[in-house]
Structure 1
């Protein structure tokens, strides 16, 4: 407590937070988060979020090593495979193939084929 029996701002905030958490459930906080997210998205453009993502990625990469990312990838892959069937992956592959074919021309595929053939000949 601060002087004169007054509560500090920190203590008042903590007590207020504790009281609020006792009076509201998970759905209450999810709704607040959703409303806040919607309001924020109306006030910021794509570049704002790209910049935040880039800064977050840079900060995260400074704090974690290769094994950290491998473990995350492995866990994500396992969770995804448990939640999806063969058709899901076929659909992803089809969409990826369509997107790739729209972004590349005949020469791109000829070059890939040539490199693949050369790699096989060198084995």
Structure 2
């Protein structure tokens, strides 16, 4: 898939961090390199590949989110589930270690595609 074809897949990277050893950091870098627009959001501050990390605690009103890719574990998801579902994404990717059956079912019930997958693998195999 060409990068231009992915430009309509605005992706919310939940759990964004400037720590280069974290998967959320790698994912933001890969999205950026692939030409996929992304919004980093989390409780950390800083800039990630030219995008300022938005404070998740403010539950900002975001629009046109195509994909939410999760990098926070189930124990840290509880207070954000309804907020994230309320953004009405087309899909939510539960990366390894973020699987949450409650969140999964709530999202599915709202007609959101849910995937237990790895954003990095999906990008590297043109399945994003």
Higher share in strand: 2
TM-score (norm 1): 0.16
Higher relative contact order (CA 8 A, sep 6+): 2
The two structures have a TM-score, normalised by structure 2, of: 0.16
